[in-house]
A and B are shown apart, each in its own frame.
Chain A
Amino acid sequence: EADIYQTPRYLVIGTGKKITLECSQTMGHDKMYWYQQDPGMELHLIHYSYGVNSTEKGDLSSESTVSRIRTEHFPLTLESARPSHTSQYLCASSDPGTFYEQYFGPGTRLTVT
């Protein structure tokens, strides 16, 4: 079934560690996005990509990086985790055929101790 997947779903990690949050979609979408969201709160765009080898920074891009080597894969890396990074991270993808409706993944809930 075509969907968007995120791993891990939950992660507890210590301050200073490097972490990579994985996002994969099997919908063939060109555009992908990363959002940071505290539970039930505003969605903050971190990074987005229009396609392979394309990445752009959003509002909250500092302290994180992304790569887009394959269409289906859009990992997010935090070089040095801090307690302020504790949040939920949502990956999304979109397609021109549906007016670029954004399909969201289930999210990764990150806790930095």
Chain B
Amino acid sequence: GENVEQHPSTLSVQEGDSAVIKCTYSDSASNYFPWYKQELGKRPQLIIDIRSNVGEKKDQRIAVTLNKTAKHFSLHITETQPEDSAVYFCAATLVGNQFYFGTGTSLTVIP
């Protein structure tokens, strides 16, 4: 099955700086890579996703890049704000199958 590794496990940045979270996957058949944000005490929610036929996708301050050859994808948050503080999970899947989640990154944005 698929194996997803996520780094770093914790990340602290100053407000306004950028944050980058990286994930690698093992199964070259995976073709869908979502990112979820989980605020303290709340449910995970999808913030951005990318399909294997796209190399980069951007939504305001959030972007995701995918390198299929190297089997890794990254989440980029620019101009971080305190409300970006949360746990972020990457996932990989072959569409229609179960999601394989990373172990999570706890992001703290320091005002």
CA distance in complex: A48, B98 (Å): 8
Q: Which of A80-109 contact B (CB under 8 A)?
A: 90, 96, 99-102, 104-107
Interface magnitude class on chain B = 20 to 34
Q: Tell me how far the C-beta of B52 lies from the nearest C-beta in chain A, rounded to whole angstroms.
A: 11
Pair B104/A42 contact, Cβ less than 8 Å = yes
Residues of B within 8 A of A105 (CB): 43
State whether A101 touches B34 (Cβ < 8 A). Answer: yes
- A61–B38 alpha-carbon span in the complex (Å): 24
Q: Is B46 an interface residue (CB 8 A)?
A: yes
Kindly supply a per-residue 1/0 record for chain B positions 89-107, scoring 1 wherever the CB is within 8 Å of any chain A CB and 0 otherwise. Answer: 1000101101101111010
The CA-CA distance from A107 to B96 in the complex, in Å, is 23
Q: Which residues of A contact B (CB under 8 A)?
A: 33, 40-43, 45, 48, 58, 90, 96, 99-102, 104-107
